[in-house]
Chain A
Amino acid sequence: DAMVIQNPRYQVTQFGKPVTLSCSQTLNHNVMYWYQQKSSQAPKLLFHYYDKDFNNEADTPDNFQSRRPNTSFCFLDIRSPGLGDTAMYLCATSRGSAEAFFGQGTRLTVV
């Protein structure tokens, strides 16, 4: 059974049109992460929630925001997507600094 579920698996959006990606988990983990992975590159951390505490990476563009309404759900909002935001977006969860479990990813294409 999938433990970290991302929706949708594929998303196409127009340049400048806001888009929201969702992630849910059944593991009751206290940490949730959002990573961006561009083609042939390693995943790059955008931000994470440690419980309710939001932690933004210094180089994450202002265009990217996140919400975590409860333990199980976390959203990635891209306010005005640019062509350079085309990538795979990966959600992950962990209990503290223990191993992270990843969802299947959402492949976002900005046209």
Chain B
Amino acid sequence: GEDVEQSLFLSVREGDSSVINCTYTDSSSTYLYWYKQEPGAGLQLLTYIFSNMDMKQDQRLTVLLNKKDKHLSLRIADTQTGDSAIYFCAEVYGQNFVFGPGTRLSVLP
């Protein structure tokens, strides 16, 4: 079955770059997504990448996709305290968005 894996925790210092990694299993996924969840809130779509792309940049966010290794990463440049949250990677399997377990990003002053 489908499975999405992420490391559970990441700590960075304010101003540094954060890199959150994800591996997925369904090679037929057309889109792969990154969502952000702040405490007590719903999921906010951050960005997505189409499966025929290698990289997508959106302001401070850079998504890299390695289809061969089924590896997706999210880089946040100049990480701020407001970036502290849980980040979920997701692939679409059928009509189901399958989420990874989430990476809790802590930004230290």
Chain A contacts to B: CB under 8 angstroms: 4, 6, 31, 33, 41-43, 45, 48, 50, 55, 57, 90, 92, 97-105, 107
Contacts and interface: CB of A to CB of B under 8 A. Distances in A.
Contacts of A92: 43, 97
B41 A105 contact: yes
Say what secondary structure dominates the interface of chain A.
strand
Say what secondary structure dominates the interface of chain B.
strand
| Chain B interface residue number, banded | 20 to 34
Nearest to A100: B97
A48 B30 CA distance: 19
B24 interface: no
B100 A31 contact: no
Contact of A97 (B40, B45, B92): B92
B5 to A, nearest CB: 11
A104 B88 CA distance: 16
Interface string B14-50: 0000000000000000110101000011111100100
